[in-house]
Structure 1
Amino acid sequence: MPAARERSLPRQRRPELELEHARPLSLGYESADEAGWVTCLSHGFPTPLARWHFHDEYELHLITATSGKAFVGDWIGAFQPGHLVLCGPRLPHNWISQDVPEGGVDARDLVIQFRHQPLADAAKVIPELAELLPLLERSRHGIEFFGLGEPALAGWQAVKRARGLERFTAFCNLLTMLARCTDYRLLSNVQMQGEDNDGENDRINSIVDRITGDVAAPVSASDLAQELGMTESQFSRFFRRSTGNTFTDFVNQIRVNRACQLLMETDRQVTHICYEVGFQNVANFNRRFRDIKGMTPSEFRQQSDRRFGRSG
């Protein structure tokens, strides 16, 4: 194959890891010693905080001014005031405003950050907190909530002005609203919908691990059905019940998601990536990619470079 054509690339295509001890209070971060487990942040734009990055905490992110492009994992979409997203731990993200007035804006982002383990541990002994766990699981993909801009603003303000148990109470009220919201969408990657049956969980997890472990490996529903002692129609119903997707759609999503990662983090040609993720021809790759991402692979690469805050 011919060598990949060189492009002008950002020096670092991977997201920056943000460490808690490296967060300067001068940029608006609260001290964990003062604020506790739940911390608030408010900032404007432009700012050094708006960059392609990730961290160990969950992040609830509310936009209050300007509009532009949001980047959450492998999802690219528009945002405007009222845009509310919960990002799970280590999910890369950035928001780039495209209608900033001269001199910028003083307030654009309202953020709440919190760590997983304290809440997970508490849920083991406080059953009421278990209601929040499905929300946290979904947030691994990034969750955009609709119609909650104003109550989320009020919730952020309540958390921000409180301390101690009062802050924890305000925070739980805010998370309860999100956990009970039904008007949302998952942004990045595919969503697994687990079954209650442990045996079925083991079987579907084995299949998913096999597909995701080698995205380019040839795999068919008929072969997997035979291995599981099912007819193909039985396997199709089983797979859809377990994952919420048809087998073909799931494989295509996994392959397209892997292609997104390669488009974002490497300079390999689109043609090379097509075969590397298991598609047999470029036309089908482009068609499936557009169906899932709403744009061609080349357009995705061009837009994804803007997550660094430059024109790409």
Structure 2
Amino acid sequence: MKVLQFTVPVPIDKSIVVQKDVLPYFYPHLHRHQEVQLTWIQQGEGTLVADNNMHTFRSNEIFWLGANQPHIFKSDPSYFLPRSRKKIIALVIFFNPEGALSAFFNLPEIKQLKNFVQQRQTGFKVPAILNTVISGQMLRISSSAGVEQLMHFVELLRLLSGCPDITPLASGNRKATVSDHDGIRIGNIYNYIMQHYDKAITLEDAASQVHMTPHAFCRFFKKHTLHTFVSFLNEVRINEACKKLTDGNYDNIATVAYTCGFNSITNFNRVFKTVTGKSPSQYLNSYFHNVETN
């Protein structure tokens, strides 16, 4: 995998690109592009990696990704099985505030929206309480054209700028650029960890994937992800554990722990609380309480 630099095709007569994806699985490569991306997952589940963090995604969730933010929507392994009949459906809106829309964003009346876009370079997940409103506005944009579409787009930004309790998808200060060479290495590491998180992975195993010594690998990985290798691996494992727990397809918590690469329930409970701030049972109670109240 490589951090591929995309150029989203923009028709001459449009400054906003609307794309409907119906595919066997999401595009499987870490990539970035100059355009801000708003993705409504209409059908599908998996893991979103954005910069140095990962998040579970499910149907009817909406994500904002900043311009040039490396990301990948990694579909669950079941989507890649030979006889899988699963598919993903997503509605995506792209726009480049520095491109054809730059003059628009420099209007004094749009200053508040411009500030919002600039302050959300590390992306965010739209709060669930606003999913219906934001998805409805995205549908209006996709079904309109010309001035009407632009007006719906401005309203979308206005609605998003009023989102309460926005939590960034990525932490820390994101580097403005990542070289292709470093991007290839980061992509290979991400891919290796996400495919083998359920097995014993050593530092030497990961370093060998990018032909580096363990010491050089540690420095490189911390520089580009703001994580140690162990903390990132633990986040991948706990992220997968959270998906399994909330899906309900498990016999008990211990089964989830062992299928996510942990060799003891004690270690799993400790790491789970470190990553999420809750014990597995507390996390489950909180999750289902939020589902019921929403």
Question: Does residue 151 in structure 1 map to residue 133 in structure 2?
Answer: yes
Q: Which runs of 5+ in 1 are unaligned?
A: 1-11, 22-30, 193-208, 213-258, 280-287, 305-312
CA contact (8 A) 1:270 1:297 kept: no
2:103 maps to which of 114, 118, 121: 121
1:88 aligns with 2:79: no
Determine whether 1:66 maps to 2:44.
yes
Q: CA deviation at 1:141?
A: 0.9
Contact residue 47 and residue 73 of structure 2 kept, 8 A: yes
**Alignment identity in percent?**
16
Q: Distance in 1 between matches of 2:232 and 2:21?
A: 33
Number of residue pairs the alignment of both structures matches: 205
Please give the root-mean-square deviation of Cα atoms over the aligned residues, in Å: 3.7
Cα distance in 2, alignment partners of residues 48 and 276 from structure 1:
28
TM-score, normalised via structure 2 length: 0.58
- AA at the equivalent of 1:60: L
From the superposition, tell whether residues 263 and 128 of structure 1 become closer, same or farther in structure 2 (CA, over 3 Å). Answer: same
Distance 1:32 1:50 in 2: 25
Asked if the contact 2:28/2:72 (under 8 Å) is kept, the reply is yes
Q: How far does the alpha carbon of each residue in 1:183-205 deviate from its partner, in whole angstroms, 9 at most, with x for none?
A: 2211123269xxxxxxxxxxxxx
What secondary structure sits across from 2:37 in the alignment? strand
Change (3 A) 1:303 1:261: farther
**Match for residue 37 of structure 1 among 15, 20, 36:** 15
Any idea what SS the aligned residue of 1:32 has?
Answer: coil
2-structure distance, mates of 1:151, 1:191: 31
2:81 matches 1:102: no
Ranges in structure 2 where 5+ consecutive residues have no aligned partner: 177-184, 191-208, 240-294
Kept in 2, the 8 Å contact 1:88–1:140? The answer is yes
Q: TM-score, normalised by structure 1?
A: 0.55
State the match for 2:168 in structure 1: 186
- Which residue in 2 is equivalent to 1:19? 7
Deviation string for 1:224-278 (max 9, x for gaps)? xxxxxxxxxxxxxxxxxxxxxxxxxxxxxxxxxxx98995594535544445688
AA of the residue aligned to 2:146: G
CA spacing shift, 1:73–1:277, aligned 2, 3 Å: closer
Q: Is the 8 A contact 2:46 2:56 kept in 1?
A: yes
Change (3 A) 1:260 1:171: same
Cα deviation for residue 116 of structure 1 reads 1.4
- Tell me how far apart the structure 2 counterparts of residues 96 and 162 of structure 1 sit (CA, whole Å): 30
Residue among 35, 47, 52 paired with 2:30: 52
Alignment equivalent of 2:144, drawn from 137, 158, 162: 162
Distance 1:162 1:120 in 2: 22
Structure-1 separation of matches of 2:173 and 2:51:
13
Output the CA distance in 2 between the equivalents of 1:111 and 1:63: 9
* Contact 1:270–1:298 (Cα < 8 Å) also in 2: no
Q: Any conservation in 1 of the 2:38–2:94 contact (CA below 8 Å)?
A: yes
Partner residue, 2:212: 268
Aligned partner of 1:28 in structure 2 is none
| DSSP 3-state at the match of 2:154 | helix
Q: 2:231 aligns with which of 296, 301, 304?
A: 296
Letter in 2 for 1:79: F
For 2:153 and 2:94, how far apart are their aligned partners in 1? Answer: 11
Query: Separation in 1 of the partners of 2:186 and 2:236?
Result: 8
Aligned-partner Cα distance in 1 for 2:212–2:234: 15
